[in-house]
Structure formats: C-alpha cells, structure tokens
Chain A
Amino acid sequence: MKFFRRSKALAVKETRELFRDPTYLGLSFFIPVLLLQLFGYGLSLDVKNLPIVFVDTNNSSISREYIDSFVHSEYFDLIDITRNAEQAHELMQRGTARVVVELPTNFSRNLVSGKSVAVAVTVDGSFPTRASIIQSYISAINAKNNLELIQQMADQYGLNADALMPIEMRLSVWYNPALESINMIVPGILVLILMLFPAILGALLVVREKEDGTIFNLYSSPIRSWEIVLGKAAPYVVVSFIDYLIIYAASILQFDVRFVGSFWVISSAALLYCICTIGMGLLFSIITQTQLAAMLLTFLLTVTPAFSYSGFTTPIASMDSLGQFIAHLIPATYFMDIVRGSYLKGLGFEHYASDIASLAIYTAAIYTLCIALLKKRIG
C-alpha cells in the first residue's frame, strides 16, 4: 500500500493548497459558474427586438396596416415612421435602426387597383447571420400580408383562395421545437467550460512546483511518476466533476434547458471527460517550464479548437474535410455529441458507446504520455 500512501499524501497536499489559495479556489469554482452566466445570457443566437424604421410617403390606412403587421410581431421594435428617406438612412448609419422599409407613394392606390407594388427593404449586413435572419423574418411577414391580400381579392371576386396557392408546406421541428438557441448553447458551454478549466488547473499543477522549486521534493524522493500523476490529478478530477454538477443543475433550474436523456449516462461521460481534460492540462504542465507557457499552450490546444471544431457553433458535417479531421482529434467533439444528444434526444447508452470508447482511448493515451514524459530529472 506504500504506493497509494504517497499518492494520497500528494492528493491531500494539493487539496489543502487549493482551498487555501483564493486564486485557485476562484479558478476552480467561481469563474466557471460566472462564465456560464455570461455565456448563457449573452451568447443567444436568437434575433429579437430589431430596431426598424419605416418611410411612409403614402400614409394611408392600408400602409399603416402593413406597418402594423411588423410592429405587432415580437421581432421588431418600431423606432420611427417618417416621410423622409434620407432621415431613415441616417438612422441606419448611426446604428439606431437595423432595417429600413420604404413604402412608395402609390402603395395604397396600386394595391386597391390590383397592381403589384414594390417595397424597398434595406438591411444592416454587418453581422451576416443576423442579416439573413432579418431577411427571413421580413419575407415571412410580407408573405403573410400577401396571403391576406389574396384572400381579400378572392373573397371580392368569389374565388377559392386555395386554388391560388396549390402547395402548402407544414413544417415541424424535432428535439428543439421552439428553435430556442439556449437549448443548444448551454449544453455547448458545458462542454467548453469542462474543457477549459480542468485543463488550466491541470496545467498549473506541475509547472507551479517547478517555478517554486518544490518539484525537487518529488524528484529527489522515491515517489514514482505514475504516483505523482495520480496524486496530482485525483483532487482536481473531483473538483471538475463538482463543476459539472453545478453547471448541469444550473442549465436545468436556471436556464430551463430541455433535458430528456439519462442523468447517469451524461454524468459518467462527464467524469471520463474531466479525467481526460485534467490529463491534457497535466501533460502541458509536464512539458513546459513556466506557468505562462503552460497556460498559453492550454489556450491554444484546448479551448480554441474546442470552440471552433467541436460542433459548438457549426455542425461537424458541414465542415470541410480538414475541419472534420481536426474535429475528430479533440475530445470535446465526442463529449459534445453525448451532451447534445442527452439534453435534446435522450437516446440510450448504446448510442454513445463509440463516443465513450473514443474518449476512453484518448484519455488512456494522454495519461500514458504524462507518465512517460514526467522524468524525475532536470537535465
């Protein structure tokens, strides 16, 4: 039992140091939760309350009805209705308005007399995703207006309105019926936070002792490399798992994210993932000489690829082949699959077997490298 005695001594020491150092304590518990709040509330991809300006030189009851159809939706906030097109464009330039809709003078006359009319829509394209969402909102509302007009016409001439629109589309959305981005973002954040913080903590573990000089205690004692790795990693795996539980609880209780899967499946995957990410940090800690270098390496090799390639923002299937290759090199991809699936789809354990196997192999490889590279020598 001498082996575990040494690892245990190291683990006890690490835990004590963790609880006595405000920086480490903050990095372990406070900052991950804070980050969840910041991202959870801030990183919504839903576009609502868009400032809109109308240029209405027609100023008739029909034009006002058309304008009302926009204003009454939850997507637009009316800033102004003006007669002056230049004034509207100025509002756009200043960023006060994101959309300008211009109704021509002959708007009501043309519609009443059965002629088509052109409405000029100008959209602020500085954020492409937002612009395309605005575009689709406006098309939808415009289509709705058209539909009503057709209905009116049909009624007026006694025709069957359905005959004018032979194909009707009935769309239903699975897994996230309301298409709320929070259901996709919060689980994604869980994956990223459990990548970043365990890796940072792990990255400081060995290199801090190198900077302080205490590493010689370990180097010059009979403790073995694997005992050092075990003793150092164990307390921080527990810390990371507690982080997971906190974020999981917050996602459901605070952010009302749909969760339909099995708590046990996602939790066992999370434990494996934490062990893996701590190990990645440890590995960086073992191969560097300063805390700064270890941190940079961690940022570069963990959270950056995880953000871009794990499928957090872009589905992996829509990446090019290089992107897909990189995606399969990072553990976040596998865990993302399990997490998104658990939250939204709720499949059984067997559906995640290959993801979990990949994570397990990855973890084993990381720790093997850690033990092999942790030489109890300085040169």
Chain B
Amino acid sequence: MPASLIQVKDLCKNYKKFNAVKSVSFDIPRGQIFGLIGPDGAGKTSIIQCLAGVLSANRGEVSINGINCLKNPEKVKSIIGYMPQGLGLNLYDNLSVEENINFFRELRGVSDKTFLANRNRLLEMTRLAPFLKRPAGKLSGGMRQKLALICTLIHLPDILLLDEPTTGVDPISRRDFWEIIHDIVSERGVTVLLSTSYMDEAERCHQIAMMHQGEFIAQGTPAELAKTMRGQLLDISTPTGDNLLQTLRDWPMCETVVQIGQHYRLLAADNIDNQLDLESSLRASLKGSLSQQIRIKHPSPSLEDIFIQHTSTEKTAHLSSHIFESSWAKQKQIESAIHTTNISCQFGDFKAVDKVSLTVKPGEIFGLLGPNGAGKTTLIKMLCGLQNNSGGSAQVIGYDTASEKRQLRHRIGYMSQKFSLYRDLSVVENMHLYSGLYGIKKAVREQRIEVLLTQLDLAGLGNRNTLSLPLGIRQRVALACALIHQPLLLFLDEPTSGVDPVARRQFWEIVHALAENEGVTIIVSTHYMDEAEHCHRLGFMQQGRMVITGTPDQLKQQAEQIDGSLVTIESEQFSAAFEALKPEFSNAIYYGRRVQWQSKTPQQDQNHATKILEQSGIAATVGCHPLSIEEAFVSFIQHDLSLQDQLGAA
C-alpha cells in the first residue's frame, strides 16, 4: 500500500497557450483534509478535475490509491466522490430531493443495506429529511449544497474531491457543511481534497497549499504557514476613528498598511523583534494625544496576510489625489445619506422586506449581510427607486425614493462584479457606454476617464478587451464605470468574491478613499465575511428584517454575550484531544487542526480542559479566541430564529 492515498507529481496542464497548472506536486495521506486555496483562475479546478479523471494533463503523474488517474481514469471513478464547482450544480432541479438521491444511488449501484443506513444518517446530519418531496430547484442555496454533498457521499467514497464547495453558501449552512466533513473524516477516515477561495476557510483544513497563477506558493499546516510570515503585524485602532493612513505610511518602520473597517493592519519591518520597542516607536511617531489614545494589538497573521506577502512583489501605487473633480459630495449638506422608516415590500403573502428602519451617515461604508433570500437585493432595489415600497418611506441622499426617482438615479451608482461589464468591449468603450447612459458631455468625459484610469491603477489598459483582463483588474474597471457619473452613493454587490487578496486589498483601499476623500456613501451587500470586515458598520438581515446593526467590534462583543467566547485547543494530536474533551464539552467541534466551542464561562472551561488534557497526556495549547464576524453572524441569526420560534409558539 502506498504511503499516501493521493499522489500528484509534476502536474502540468495547458489550455492552448495558457498554463493553468505549472508543475505542481503534493501528497495527501489517508484521513486528511487537504485544502487548495487561491483566487479564481489559480488552477485549483484543473487539479481536481485531473484527479477525478475528467481532464487530461500535459505532463506529470496523478494517482489515487496507486491507480493512475490519467491513464486509467475509469478505474478511479468508483472510489471517488466528486462535487463540481457551483451551488448544487450537480443536481437535477426538476427532481425531488429523494429522486435526486435515488438517481445517484442507482448510478453508483449502491446496495440496499448500505444505502438505507447511509441515507438516513446523511439526511439527519443535513436536516433535509423534512424536504424529501421538494424539487431540488426550490431549495435555498445552502440546502442545495448540502443535498449535493449527500449525492456525492451516497456511495460511501473513500476519497472526496470538492471543488469550491462553500462558495456562495450562507454561514449557517457553511458551518453545517464543515461539521459533516469533519464527522465523516473522523468516523470513516475519508480523505478530502477541497478547493476554496476563502482564506479564512482554509484554517479548517489539516494541510493547505496556496495556489497563485498555476503554482503552489506555500504548503503546510496552517500553523507552519503562519511561521513563514516575515515582519511584525500590528492592529491599530483609535476610539474616535481618526484617519491614520497617511501618518502610518510615513512611519519609517511601516512596510505596508491597509485600512480594514476602522482598524489599520500594519506590517512592520523585521529588524525590531521586541514588541514593546515597536509599540513605543510607533507611539513616538504620532502627534499629540493620538500617541496615547491608539490601541495596538498583535494579531497572528491570517492566511491572507501570508498570501499577500508571497505574491506581491512590488508596492502597489497609492491613490495620490482626488478621484472626483471636486469633492462635491462633501459639499452637499445632508444629515444622512440613507434614512428609512419602517419600509416594507410585500410580494403576495411573502414579506421580502419587513419594516426596516435604517440610517446611514454620509461617507460611511455600510455592509448589508444575510443569507440568500434575506431581502438584501429587494432592499437595495427599493433604495435605488427600482422597487416600490408597500409601506413606510425612504430618503436617499435627500431624495424621496417614491416621488423623486429620476433625480435619485443620477446621483447613485451600482457595481456588481458579475454583471456590470460588456466583455467584448474594451475598457474605454465600456466607460464610454456608461457615460452615454448618464448623459455626460464629451469634453468632461475624456478628462474623467483619464483621471479614473490613473487613480484606479488602470493606466495603459484602456484599449484592452475586457475579457482578456484578469478578474482583479476587471473588477476595478467595473468600479471605474460605476464612478463615471460621480455618484454620491455607491452600491457594491459582492464586489470582491473570488478575487486574489492583493487585488482585493487594492480595491478596498480605493473604496476607503472614496468614502474618506470624496464623501461617497457606500453600501456593500455580501455574504462573504471578509468583505464585511472592511465596513464601518454592518447590518445583519434575516427573513426581510434588519436583525441588528453595529460596528464589527460591537457586533462581536454582543455576540459573545449571547453565546459566549470561543475556547480553542490547538494540538498536534487534535483527534485525541477531541475524543477526550467531547464527553465534557458536548458542543465541541473540529475546526481544522483545532478543537473549539463557545462558552459563557470561558475561564472555567479553559482550566477544566487543561486538566483533562494533562490527565490524558496530550500536549496542547488552550486559549481563548476572539469571535470572527462569521461566528457573530451565526450567533445573531440563530438567536433571532429561536426568538421567532418562541413568538410563533406563543
């Protein structure tokens, strides 16, 4: 028996002249969760497809359990379960949940006994049993993905190949999804290879490989990768929310600094090891009261930090001056950019938006979060004047959305990464089109285009065909198009999904500058949690209602009050640690190589866990982790759901 279940050696795959995979090698031992992590177009899908026996390679060797996947592709197909990319894309929409499962069972020739036991277990884990008769096309995104997973697992494969299984899935379903994966891995020793473009998700894997432009740029456990980080990371914030960007950039120790919401993430040069020295040096460089007021934390590097350090070779150009001709947005005196009172939208019996009252200040970056169908899109349509209210009223940048739609539309912009651009037109042609749509005069147009191209780091790309540009650049082109009429309010719909972290940081830098320098108010609608961190303030939506609003920090603190803090156990023997702790802490779950649970008595739990682990002879680090935005979101939504249930019961 070979040492590793999956072996990939020197794999190369070209599509015509494009090298999608450039000499990649890795091994995956039995029972491991291996994550391929990287932005869209990094080559993840090609690797998975070669392993699934549905794609040929130009060079190299790929084998599963000793079977050559390139030469005998049909032989591996009975031992693998392959889930292609896309939300439940392997399902037949017209067939019911049950019929879909049965189809896969027959296709794989699963015997009755195995089938029944496995089916019931999977239905229970996914909580899909009540929906057996519902057509797959009428399930929510998260449910579809769970059904797709059942269909992939129905024949009890030893190897799971999952291509971006959690892209576009809401956080609660995503958590369910990961629990199922960890369950089948610990129960049956299944080997999992999955790809993802979420850096935060990769921490749930045992072993990860970071991919960029067809190559592995780093490989190892999440902890090993964290050690490759050069320099010191600092998280800086002020209680008053002052803009420190330029000041921090001028600090000689500073290598890079980015604004994330109201925090600054700064990478300091390597030459000072002592954290205290570094802090005092930073405080000394600040003027007046700021030097005392700022809070400095030392976060552990995220995979995104590591990815950026490995891929960005030169410093990206910073915005030098204004993007708009005059910061006229600032000059228009309005108290609030958005002010709604109890606006609702009802389709028949269905309340798409249910009495939402919301106020957003000018120049604020506000994030609208919620699962698919929570009402985000309808709310945005109402704020743009594209959808009539069935109740309440809304003022957007001083205009009433019901009576002043025309004036309103000239003052707002909209950008969605997926749908904004005409891909057969060049960059400038796209911008001309948008100027035409907003009736901008030719003389003004050429000047604005020039400024936008320079400021958004698109210089020299004006005549390129949009289709030929990488995703990250295309997304800045879409932004440029949305800015050509200099809107006061900008709606961004999942603007950075799938984009590589370097381009993503650059994008957010522009967004922050728009809010700060031009006074543009920005509304971001997303269910990607890392986009949420960039907002000044967030609103969580659920079933048409605004469940809660607040700054990311406030929301995390409030969530800890609901469900408690996160107790984490990090250990080389994480499976043994889990077995030892599970009887005492029933809500403990695997999180990659960590074991963790939420607790209202974190200190007590930590002491208790330390004692148990010592008695079992397991070396481990016991600690307390701050909640992520995603965990906060899940807490609020579940809390809200249980409240609704109580109301319903009463």
Query: Measuring CB to CB, which residues of chain A are less than 8 angstroms from any residue of chain B?
Result: 2, 5-6, 8-10, 12-13, 16-17, 20-21, 212-214, 216-224, 376-379
Contact = CB atoms under 8 A, between A and B. Distances in A.
**Most chain A beta carbons < 10 A, residue from B49, B54, B151:** B54
A6 B108 CA distance: 8
Contacts of B204: none
Nearest to A223: B107
Nearest to B100: A13
Interface in B82-120: 82, 84-86, 89-92, 94-95, 99, 102-104, 106-109
A216 B92 contact: no
B13 to A, nearest CB: 9
Given A214-B89, A377-B55, A13 B103 contact: yes
Nearest to A14: B92
A378 B54 contact: yes
Contact of A20 (B74, B85, B94, B103): B94
B107 A217 contact: yes
B575 interface: no
B15 A379 contact: yes
Contact of A216 (B54, B78, B103): B54
Interface string B139-156: 000000000000100000
Determine the main DSSP class of A at the interface with B: helix
A376 B78 CA distance: 14
A222 B94 contact: no
Contact of A221 (B56, B107, B135): B107
Nearest to A225: B74
Contacts of A224: 74
A16 B99 contact: yes
Contacts of B107: 6, 9-10, 217-218, 221, 223
Nearest to A213: B89
Nearest to B53: A220
Contacts of A16: 94-95, 99
B84 A221 contact: no
12 contacts: A2-B109, A13-B95, A16-B99, A20-B94, A213-B86, A213-B89, A216-B52, A216-B90, A219-B54, A221-B77, A377-B54, A377-B73
B103 to A, nearest CB: 5
A12 B151 CA distance: 17
B94 A378 contact: no
A216 to B, nearest CB: 4
Contact of A213 (B74, B84, B106): B84
A295 to B, nearest CB: 20
Contact of B77 (A2, A21, A222): A222
Interface residues of B, number: 32
A379 B86 CA distance: 19
Instruction: Give the 5 A-B CB pairs with smallest separation, nearest first.
Output: A9-B106, A213-B89, A220-B82, A20-B94, A216-B84
B77 A212 contact: no
B456 interface: no
Nearest to A13: B103
Contacts of B106: 5-6, 8-9, 12
Interface in B394-421: none
Contacts of A6: 106-107, 109
Interface in B440-475: none
B103 A378 contact: no
A6 B102 CA distance: 11
A214 B109 contact: no
A47 B106 CA distance: 59
A226 to B, nearest CB: 13
A74 to B, nearest CB: 53
B145 to A, nearest CB: 13
A116 to B, nearest CB: 74
Nearest to A19: B94
Contacts, number: 84
Contact of A214 (B49, B56, B90): B90
Given A9-B107, A216-B90, 5 more contacts: A17-B94, A217-B104, A220-B80, A376-B74, A379-B55
B77 A220 contact: yes
A2 B155 CA distance: 15
A272 B631 CA distance: 62
A21 to B, nearest CB: 6
A379 B109 CA distance: 27
Contact of B54 (A2, A20, A214, A220): A220
Contacts of B89: 212-214
B54 A213 contact: no
A21 B137 CA distance: 12
A212 B107 CA distance: 18
A13 B92 contact: yes
A10 B102 CA distance: 11
A214 to B, nearest CB: 6
A378 B49 contact: yes
B74 A222 contact: yes
Contact of A17 (B74, B92, B109): B92
Contact of A377 (B15, B56, B99): B56
B631 to A, nearest CB: 31
A10 to B, nearest CB: 7
A10 B105 CA distance: 11
Contacts of B56: 377, 379
A60 to B, nearest CB: 76
Nearest to B83: A216
A277 B201 CA distance: 50
A16 B56 CA distance: 33
Nearest to A220: B82
A16 B99 CA distance: 9
B150 to A, nearest CB: 13
B94 A9 contact: no
Contacts of A217: 90, 104, 107, 151
A13 B92 CA distance: 9
B92 A214 contact: yes
Given A16-B95, A377-B54, A379-B15, A221 B108 contact: yes
**Most chain A beta carbons < 10 A, residue from B15, B84, B91:** B84
Interface in B47-92: 49, 52-56, 73-74, 77-78, 80, 82, 84-86, 89-92
Contacts of A8: 106
A376 B91 CA distance: 18
Nearest to A21: B94
Nearest to B85: A213
Given A16-B94, A213-B89, A5 B55 contact: no
Contacts of A213: 84-86, 89-90
A214 B221 CA distance: 33
B160 to A, nearest CB: 12
A217 to B, nearest CB: 5
Contacts of B55: 377-379
Contacts of A219: 52-54
